[in-house]
Amino acid sequence: MEAASALSNQSCTWNGPERGRRRTGGGLRIQRGFGVDTRCPSIINLQVSQAGTSSYRSESLRMKISCCCSRKEESEKFLTGVDEALILKKKSEDVIPYMNERCLFLVGMMGSGKTTVGKILSEVLGYSFFDSDKLVEKAVGMYSVAQIFKERSEAFFRDNESKALRDLSLMRRLVVATGGGAVIRPINWSYMKRGITVWLDVPLEALARRIAAVGTESRPLLHNEPGDPYTKALIRLSTLSEERGDAYANADARICLQHIASKQGHGDVSALTPTAIAIEALVKIESFLSKDTAVERLTYF
Ligand SMILES: Nc1ncnc2c1ncn2[C@@H]1O[C@H](COP(=O)(O)OP(=O)(O)O)[C@@H](O)[C@H]1O
Ligand SMILES: O=C(O)C1=C[C@@H](OP(=O)(O)O)[C@@H](O)[C@H](O)C1
């Protein structure tokens, strides 16, 4: 099955210091691509300094932000959003040279944010985004995964999911949001390991809250539980998580939202924005790519 045509890349315009030339100072105006509220334009004087050797890890960013926002909380929210967007962009520039155009495969339970975070990563990396569930729906000519489960079978869905992952693994410069059950089959790991695998590890309660907020209709494995949407989701997700055991832990990088939240002083993972999670993903990818084992494995493909 041919994978669907690549989605158009969304990229941001970056007026900062030219890539490849490291120099102190530099001004930039944030483009709309960062989702900045242009009613409140800001000029960020980005003082980029290198501490010690110029290894891409040692750069430190100090930012003075002058902003016309009138209200304190708006300004703080604006600055946080700008900070995150800037840090994401900077981190992507650190990582891209080491990724060697390899695909990113996001794995995790349903509702873990593979699509949401995947789209952010694809945009900042200049990669194309694919949702393997959508490719399967197109390949079999049905409008939803739920319809496939109902009118054909889960096994039929899984077979086509493997074909989609096989096709995607032969391509470059993709971010793929896999279905939550992709980790079940070893053959799928043989495909995904041609790229870099990233596990979004989200507490079950947070998954249940997120899924309850959007409804379980699109997730057939959650359909047959009794009770309210949250309870129904939590019961089923707990069972699935136990059945899948350590399957997700085969990923090259684990993004533990509970750990990030604790590190940032949040009591709950719901305080973490998708951008903050994307930043952490790039940090963990960078760490993985610096290991010899990564170099050995990725050299072959
Ligand atoms: N960091 C986050 N904080 C709060 N809600 C989120 C976050 N990431 C994703 N969501 C929400 O959770 C739901 C599932 O996200 P999605 O990206 O579709 O997950 P997946 O693709 O893993 O099933 C969506 O409604 C999405 O808006
Ligand atoms: O966990 C699973 O087995 C599944 C997760 C779903 O994808 P999302 O993770 O995008 O919900 C979809 O592939 C199908 O309903 C099966």
- pLDDT, tens only, 79-120: 677 899 999 999 999 999 999 999 999 999 999 999 999 999
Ligand 1 in reach of 229 Cβ (< 6 A): no
Cα(186)–Cα(16) distance, integer angstroms: 43
Answer whether residue 130 shows pLDDT above 50: yes
Kindly report which listed range (6-15, 68-77, 177-186, 216-225) carries the lowest average pLDDT score. Answer: 6-15
**Pair 30, 105 in one domain:** no
Q: Decide if 70 is inside a domain.
A: no
Q: Decide if 266 is inside a domain.
A: yes
Q: What is the DSSP string of 84-144?
A: HHHHHHHHHHHHHHHHTT--EEEE-STTSSHHHHHHHHHHHHT-EEEEHHHHHHHHHT-S-
**Pair 146, 205 in one domain:** yes
pLDDT bracket for residue 245 (50, 70, 90): confident
The residue whose CB lies within 8 Å of the most ligand 1 atoms, and thus the one to mutate among 114, 121, 204, 210, is 210
Q: Is the ipTM of this complex over 0.85?
A: yes
**Pair 92, 187 in one domain:** yes
* pLDDT for the residue numbered 15: 37
**Pair 281, 134 in one domain:** yes
**Pair 185, 291 in one domain:** yes
**Pair 156, 42 in one domain:** no
**Pair 234, 96 in one domain:** yes
* pLDDT for the residue numbered 59: 46
* pLDDT for the residue numbered 269: 96
Q: Which residue's alpha carbon is at the smallest distance from atom 8 of ligand 1?
A: 113
Q: Where are the alpha helices (DSSP H) in the chain?
A: 72-99, 114-125, 132-140, 145-151, 154-169, 186-192, 204-214, 229-244, 257-263, 274-289, 292-300
**Pair 7, 112 in one domain:** no
pLDDT digits (tens, 9 = 90+) for 154-213: 999 999 999 999 999 999 999 999 999 999 999 999 999 999 999 999 999 999 999 999
CA of 2 to the centre of ligand 2 (A): 21
Q: In a 3-state reduction of DSSP, which class is residue 3?
A: coil
Tokens, residue 164: 């989609």
Ligand number nearest to the C-alpha of 133:
2
Answer whether residue 252 shows pLDDT above 70: yes
Strand order in the sheet with 174-177: 128-131, 174-177, 104-107, 196-201, 253-256
pLDDT bracket for residue 299 (50, 70, 90): low
Ligand 1 in reach of 50 Cβ (< 6 A): no
Answer whether residue 297 shows pLDDT above 80: no
CA of 218 to the centre of ligand 2 (A): 9
Ligand 1 in reach of 113 Cβ (< 6 A): yes
CATH code of the domain covering residue 188: 3.40.50.300
Percent of the chain with pLDDT over 90: 63
Cα(257)–Cα(206) distance, integer angstroms: 10
**Pair 98, 212 in one domain:** yes
Percent of the chain with pLDDT over 70: 71
Q: Decide if 99 is inside a domain.
A: yes
How many other CB atoms sit within 10 Å of the CB of residue 179? 23
CA of 210 to the centre of ligand 1 (A): 6
Answer whether residue 268 shows pLDDT above 90: yes
Answer whether residue 136 shows pLDDT above 60: yes
**Residue holding tokens 């971010």?**
175
Q: Decide if 65 is inside a domain.
A: no
Ligand 2 in reach of 124 Cβ (< 6 A): no
* pLDDT for the residue numbered 70: 53
Tokens, residue 210: 């997120």
**Pair 142, 28 in one domain:** no
The residue whose CB lies within 8 Å of the most ligand 2 atoms, and thus the one to mutate among 131, 133, 135, is 133
Based on the structure, what is the number of domains in the chain? 2
* pLDDT for the residue numbered 69: 45
**Pair 49, 151 in one domain:** no
* pLDDT for the residue numbered 189: 98
Closest C-alpha to 108, from 255, 279, 248: 248
Ligand 2 in reach of 165 Cβ (< 6 A): no
CA of 183 to the centre of ligand 2 (A): 11
pLDDT bracket for residue 225 (50, 70, 90): confident
Ligand 2 in reach of 179 Cβ (< 6 A): yes
Structural domain range at position 146: 81-300
Q: Decide if 94 is inside a domain.
A: yes
* pLDDT for the residue numbered 291: 86
Residue 204 forms beta bridges with which residues? Answer: none
Closest C-alpha to 82, from 94, 71, 93, 69: 69
**Pair 138, 194 in one domain:** yes
Higher pLDDT, 256 or 264: 256
Q: Which residue's alpha carbon is at the smallest distance from atom 7 of ligand 2?
A: 179
Ligand 1 in reach of 278 Cβ (< 6 A): no
Q: Which residue's alpha carbon is at the smallest distance from atom 11 of ligand 1?
A: 210
* pLDDT for the residue numbered 243: 94
Cα(217)–Cα(40) distance, integer angstroms: 40
* pLDDT for the residue numbered 300: 59
Q: Decide if 204 is inside a domain.
A: yes
Q: Decide if 74 is inside a domain.
A: no
Ligand 1 in reach of 181 Cβ (< 6 A): no
Closest C-alpha to 192, from 258, 119, 247: 247
Q: Decide if 206 is inside a domain.
A: yes
Domain boundary among 17, 36, 54: 54
Q: Please, what is the average pLDDT of the chain?
A: 81
* pLDDT for the residue numbered 301: 57
